[in-house]
Amino acid sequence: MSRIEVQGLSRRFGSVTAVDDVWLDIADGEFLVLLGPSGCGKSTLLRMIAGLLPPTGGRLRLGGADITDTPPQQRDLAMVFQSYALYPHLSVARNIGFPLRARRWRRADVRAKVADVAAQLDLVDLLDRKPRELSGGQRQRVALGRALVRDPGAFLMDEPLSNLDAKLRAGTRAEISALHRRLAATVVYVTHDQVEAMTMATRIAVLNGGRLEQVGTPAEVYDEPASVFVAQFLGSPAMNLLRTVVRAEGGRLTARAADVELDLGIEGELPQREVVVGVRPEHLNPSGPEEASIRAVVTAVENLGNEEVVHCAAGEIPICVRGPRPLDLGRGDRVNLATRARHLHLFDPGSGRRLTWRPAPVTAGV
Ligand SMILES: Nc1ncnc2c1ncn2[C@@H]1O[C@H](COP(=O)(O)OP(=O)(O)OP(=O)(O)O)[C@@H](O)[C@H]1O
Ligand SMILES: [Mg+2]
């Protein structure tokens, strides 16, 4: 059993709080991705789980047992780092077998296990080489092999693909996902790359300034971001955000700003209030009817090959639209951007948190 329970872990460095009261319950066999911008505390949290850094608060459990004070070697966890941290003077075979020799395994057993892991990672032909004779992707596979060889209950990976070029990264991403399915092992994986998070995770935990913003499946986090921060962090180009005033008009809620009029698709009465309305670039149709929701002017068009990103301005508000090529738009064109109420995300302008008005009817005092 390799359930990992992070119970209010915190870590301060002097006056900096790198990780602030994080709670996570990671099920056995999950692939949990810690996602967030540089400096948000991902590595610090992972290093505390690995036992490489003592927490300044909170507890940690592995398979139900409290391991907060257990030294790293005695935790049933293997860590894979961004810098492969291979021994340069040892062959691939000896690098992979290192953790087993350190545990005084018999030579024949080490050889058999290394052969087994090398076959899984397609490293059989490289076993006699030194790390400097390998490509970045091959080195990362050796580092993975060294973690795998111990059959740990859980793998902790800190940006293991960030030294690889785009093509290798995509390939290795698929490889790690396949490995996770085959081994059914628990993985905690740190990245700031939203594509890695979306494609590999069973759940994503989004960190911001040391705090947990949201935990959910990739679809939940993308489709129902819990805050403006999450909404803007996932998705490229980022979600459009419009500061509007919402009021009830004829029993329906409408959000307005200059050149913007959005029917929120919610029936009810409400005192007028400010709301940040979010809509993703792919959910705006630039050939909407005259009376469409957002009136804007095209300021630039980017050709992405299969798609186009059209930058517009609705009054002062910059708005991005993404769609299949060709959208037949040019700088200076006037567009009416249409969308559907179900594609609108509503946030409180003060706290930045999601407003859960939809699809439930409005209740007083929300
Ligand atoms: N040993 C340390 N001493 C002081 N401050 C530290 C130390 N380690 C980390 N920090 C600070 O803690 C915060 C979180 O750092 P951390 O390395 O966990 O971020 P990260 O999310 O992994 O970022 P990146 O994506 O850049 O790797 C940062 O503000 C960092 O400067
Ligand atoms: Mg880091």
Nearest ligand atom owner, CA of 10: 1
Give the end of a domain, one of 226, 254, 285.
Answer: 226
Residue nearest atom 28 in ligand 1 by C-alpha distance: 39
Ligand 1 cavity residues, CB under 6 Å = 13, 16, 18, 36, 38-44, 192
Q: Are residues 251 and 123 in the same domain?
A: no
Q: pLDDT tier at 290 (50, 70, 90 boundaries)?
A: low
Q: Which atom of ligand 1 is nearest to the CA of 210?
A: 14
Q: How many CB atoms lie within 10 A of CB 225?
A: 25
Whether 167 and 204 map to the same domain: the answer is yes
My answer on whether 188 and 250 are in the same domain is: no
**29: phi > 0 → left, psi -120 to 50 → alpha, else beta; which?**
left
Question: Which atom of ligand 1 lies nearest, measured to the CA of 53?
Answer: 1
pLDDT in tens, 94-150: 999 999 998 899 999 999 999 999 998 889 999 999 999 998 888 888 998 999 998
246 and 152 within one domain: no
pLDDT tier at 291, thresholds 50, 70, 90 = low
pLDDT tens digits for range 160-197: 888 778 888 888 888 889 889 988 889 999 999 999 99
Residues 174 and 112 in one domain: yes
Distance between Cα 206 and ligand 1 center (Å): 16
Question: Which residue, judged by its Cα, is nearest atom 17 of ligand 1?
Answer: 43
**Pair 326, 292 in one domain:** yes
DSSP-assigned beta bridge partners for residue 337: 294
Parent domain of 306 = 240-347
**Whether residue 278 sits in one domain with residue 214:** no
Q: Which atom of ligand 1 is nearest to the CA of 159?
A: 27
Q: Which residues contact 83 (CB under 8 A, 6 or more apart)?
A: 163
Mutate to test the pocket of ligand 1, among 22, 42, 53, 158 (most ligand atoms within 8 A of CB): 42
**CA–CA–CA angle 216, 159, 82 (5° rounding):** 160
Q: What is the pLDDT of residue 361?
A: 45
Torsion over CA: 18, 353, 36, 302 (sign): negative
In the listed set 204, 226, 248, which residue is the last one of a domain according to the structure?
226
Give 67's Cβ-side CA count (13 Å radius).
23
Residue with tokens 């949201």: 214
> Rounded distance, CA 205 to CA 214, Å?
6
pLDDT digits 0-9 by tens, 53-104: 999 999 999 999 999 999 998 999 998 887 778 999 999 999 999 999 988 9
Using a cut of 0.85, tell me whether the model's pTM lies above it. yes
Task: For a ligand 1 pocket test, name from 12, 17, 40 the mutation site with the most ligand atoms within 8 angstroms of its C-beta.
Answer: 40
Question: What b/e string do you get for 10-25 counting C-beta neighbours within 10 Å, with b at 16 or more?
Answer: bbeeeeebbbbebebe
> Mean pLDDT across the chain, nearest whole number?
91
Distance in Å, CA 47 to ligand 2 centroid:
10
Name the closest-CA residue to atom 12, ligand 1: 18
Q: How many domains does the chain have?
A: 2
Q: What distance in angstroms lies between residue 49's CA and the mean position of ligand 2's atoms? A: 14
CA of 44 to the centre of ligand 1 (A): 6
Beginning with the edge strand found earlier in the chain, give each strand of the sheet holding 77-80 in spatial order: 77-80, 154-158, 186-191, 31-35, 203-208, 211-216
